[in-house]
Amino acid sequence: AQKVTQAQTEISVVEKEDVTLDCVYETRDTTYYLFWYKQPPSGELVFLIRRNSFDEQNEISGRYSWNFQKSTSSFNFTITASQVVDSAVYFCALSGRNTDKLIFGTGTRLQVFP
Amino acid sequence: DADVTQTPRNRITKTGKRIMLECSQTKGHDRMYWYRQDPGLGLRLIYYSFDVKDINKGEISDGYSVSRQAQAKFSLSLESAIPNQTALYFCATSDAAFHGYTFGSGTRLTVV
């Protein structure tokens, strides 16, 4: 069975701090895909990144970076120099190559205070 | 226009009433999904459809029904709404799950 665990329910930081959101997954598939979505206070779900299981290179996009480690079944998300606009709920998700749907974690609420 | 449009955006309804949430997409994708979001529980799948003749139950389908009227339209109905169906509902579409989803903006439903 596939499962995604986001153990951090809520994180609070002060602006300009770095913050890492953890995501641990379980799957028996050898080919799988990992995702991060952002849900700002306005409520919509915004796609951030998709990563396949054969690409373990870390990804950086501006202040955002993602660390994929198959050895620990983790796909962690780091925000460098956080800003108030980063305040949101962040979801990690998993899909196999032949599965019908995404499996979501329960989300981590990030609050960035000025 | 948005790729995935959900209507209404907000709705308050009374216990026992029938309500329909509508979703339409312009992505041309075959797959459509309905999720509900509750605080601390993440996104839970209600129903999903691969085409107009293929409807599948998700993990929490009890109390809900769906209709796939066309490739682009997928409606969710609550036959007799109850207060614990108060939640944020999302529709999504995809050409394949491993490509990820495009979500609608959500419908905030309150059952009083």
- By Cβ distance, the residue of B40, B50, B56 closest to A106 is B40
pLDDT tens, residue by residue, B15-37: 999 999 999 999 999 999 999 99
Decide if A95 and B102 are in contact by the 8 Å CB cutoff: no
Instruction: Identify the DSSP state of A42.
Output: T
Asked if B43 lies within 8 A of A91 by C-beta distance, the reply is: yes
Q: Report chain B residues whose CB lies below 8 A from the CB of A32.
A: 98
pLDDT in the model for residue A58: 87
**Peptide bond preceding B8 in cis form (omega within 30 of 0):** yes
The pLDDT assigned to B41 comes to 85
pLDDT in tens, B44-101: 999 999 999 999 999 999 999 999 999 999 999 999 999 999 999 999 999 888 888 9
Q: What is the pLDDT of residues A54-72, one digit of tens each?
A: 988 888 999 999 999 999 9
**For residue B102, which residues of chain A lie inside 8 Å, CB to CB?**
47
Per-residue pLDDT, B98: 84
Of A33, A47, A106, the CB nearest to B98: A33
